[in-house]
Chains A and B, each alone.
Chain A
Amino acid sequence: MIRAFIAGTVIAIIAPLIGNFLVIRRYSLFADSLSHVSFLSVAIAFALGITPVGVSVIGSIIAAIALERLRVSKRVNPETSLALFLSGSLALATIILSFQKTATVSISSILFGSITTIGSNDLLIINSAGIVGILLILIFFKEFFMIAFDEEYALVKGIPVGKLNYLLMVLAAVTISISITAIGVLLISALMVIPVIAAHQFKKSFKASVKISIIFALLSVWMGLVIAFYANLPAGGTIVLVAIACFIISSIFRKILK
C-alpha cells in the first residue's frame, strides 16, 4: 500500500503536468493513442517473457516520435494518425495476446492497472523516470507554454520549437508507459486530461491552472486508493471516478460563481 501511494503520487504530479500542454494544444487523444501503443508493447513483452515496463517505454517513445514526425510533415491529419496508431496497436495486441492462453490475469491488470501490487522494481522505474520527467517539464515550462500558445511566435523568438515538441511527446510517452502498471492502459489518459479540464473551470492563469490540476490529480489518487482499499474496488477505476467527481464539482462551483 505504501508503494501504491508513492507511485500514485509521482504519477499524479507528472500526468497532469504534461496533460496541461496536451489539452491546450488540443492533443488529448495523443495520450489515448500512446497508451494503446503501450498495451501493444506489453503484449509483446508477455510473448517474449520480459519485463513489460521497459518494452513499453521503448515502444511508446518510438510511437511518439513517429506521430510527431507525421504531424510536422502534414501528410496526414494529426487526428487521423492518432486513430491509426490507436486502433492499429490494439488490433495487433489482441492477436499477440490470443496466443498467450495463460496470461489473462496479468492482461486485466495491464488494462485496468494494479497499483496495489506494484513491485519494488516497478516503483524504482516509476520514481526515477517520473522525477526526471517532472524536472524537465519545469525547466522548459516557459518554452512549452509559448509553443502551445503560438508556435510561430516561439520560432521568431529563437526557441528550438521542433526539438522541444519531440521532448514533450517523448515525456508523454514515458509517463504513460510507467503509469500503466499502476493505473492501467485504459485509464492513464483520463488522469492526464480530467484533472486539467477540471482545473480550467476556475478560469485562472495558466500557472494556477497547472497547480490546481496537480492538486486534483493528487486528491483523485489518494482518495481513490483509500476508497478502493476499504471498499475492495479496482484502484485504477476508483481513481478515475474520483477525478470525474472533481470535474463535476468544479463545474458546479463555476456555475455558482457566475
Chain B
Amino acid sequence: MSAINVRHLNYSYGNDQVIKDLSFEVRKGEYVGLIGQNGSGKSTLLKLILGLLKTKNGDKNGRIELLGKPVSTFKKWEKVGYVPQRSGIFDKTFPATVEEIVAMGTTGKNKLFHRLSGADEKDITEALEVVDLLPLRKRLLSELSGGQQQRVLIARALAGKPEIIFLDEPVVGVDTGVQKKFYALLQHLNKQLGITLILVSHDLDIVAHEADYLMLMSEGEICRCTKEMIMKDKKRFVALSHHHHS
C-alpha cells in the first residue's frame, strides 16, 4: 500500500518550471530522506503533497495521492503529521502551554465546533509520553529548551495518531547532542509505531544514516538512491545536496 503516490507531476512559478514530470512512490512504513539544495523544488514538492499548493489545470499536470486518496479531495488531515522548522514559528512571548500546542494535533478529525473529548485527552497524554515530556505538559512553551520545543512539535504531530509524518528541516537550530536523541525518537516512531516518515533535510550524512533510502531532488527531478549508491559517489551527492545552502 502506498503512502504517497506521485505521477507525472509538473509545477511552475510563472515560466520557471520547478517540478518536471515527477513520478515516485513511498510505501507505508518507509523512512525516506528527501534532500536537495535550495531551489531544487523540494519545498514546492512538500507543499504540493500537503495541499498547500495546487497543480494548475487539475490532472493535466499530474496526480498526487496521499494515503490512497487524491490530495485535492483528501479529508483525513489528522492522519498527516507535520513538523515545521522550529525557528520559523517560534515567538518567545506566545502564551501557550505544551498541552495546548499538542492539542492542536487532534484538530482535523474534530473539525469545527468540536471540543476536546476524553479520547483526545488520552491521545495528547500518549503523545507526550512518547516524546518524554509528560511532566512538562502544563509549562509554557517559551520556558522549554530548543530540543524540548522540537519534541513538543513532534508530540503535536503524534496526537492525531498519524500514519505519516513530514518533517521539514526539523533540527535546524538544535544542538548536536539533542539531535541524536531526536533521531533516536524518529527511529522509534518508524520502527515501533510503523509511522511513515518523510524527513526533509540538507544534511546528507545524517539522512543517509537514518533513513531507509534517499530521494535526491535536483532541478525539479528526483532520483531514488540507496545508502550504498551514496557512499560510492559521496562527493557528487554532497555537492548536489549542499550547494548554495546557507
Do A and B associate with each other? yes
Query: Which of A139, A155, A157, A209 contacts B107, CB < 8 Å?
Result: A157
- Whether a CB of chain B sits under 8 angstroms from the CB of A253 is no
Residue of B nearest to A151 (CB): B89
Residues from chain B with a CB closer than 8 A to the CB of A146 are: 104, 107
Given A140-B112, A150-B84, CB of A206 within 8 Å of CB of B89: no
Within 8 Å of chain A (Cβ to Cβ): is B176? no
Provide the residues of chain B in CB contact with A152, threshold 8 Å: 52, 84, 89
Q: Which of B95-103, B187-195, B199-207, B217-225 makes up part of the contact surface?
A: B95-103
Contact with A along B60-89 (1 / 0, CB 8 A): 000000000000000101101010100001
Q: Would you call A204 and B108 a contact (CB within 8 A)?
A: no
In the complex, are the beta carbons of B84 and A153 less than 8 A apart? yes
A158 touches B77 (CB 8 A): yes
Given known contacts A157-B78, A158-B77, A205 and B104 CB-to-CB distance under 8 angstroms? no
Chain A contacts of B108 at CB under 8 A? 157-158
Contact residue range for chain B? 20 to 34
Q: How far is the CB of B32 from chain A (nearest CB, A)?
A: 18
* Cβ contacts under 8 Å, A145 to chain B: 96, 100, 104
A149-B96, A200-B95, A205-B100 provided; 10 other pairs, C-beta below 8 A?
Answer: A24-B94, A142-B103, A149-B94, A149-B101, A152-B89, A153-B84, A155-B51, A156-B52, A158-B51, A205-B97
Please report B residues at the A interface, Cβ cutoff 8 Å.
50-52, 75, 77-78, 80, 82, 84, 89, 91, 93-97, 99-101, 103-104, 107-108, 110, 112-114, 138, 140
Closest 10 CB pairs of A and B: A205-B97, A158-B77, A156-B82, A150-B89, A206-B96, A157-B108, A209-B95, A157-B77, A146-B104, A156-B50
Q: Give the interface of A toward B (CB within 8 A).
A: 24, 139-140, 142-143, 145-146, 149-150, 152-153, 155-159, 200, 203-207, 209
A-B contact pairs, 27 of them (CB 8 A): A24-B94, A24-B95, A140-B112, A142-B110, A143-B107, A145-B96, A149-B89, A149-B96, A149-B101, A149-B104, A153-B82, A153-B84, A153-B89, A155-B52, A156-B50, A156-B80, A156-B82, A157-B78, A157-B107, A157-B108, A158-B51, A158-B77, A158-B108, A200-B93, A200-B95, A203-B95, A205-B95
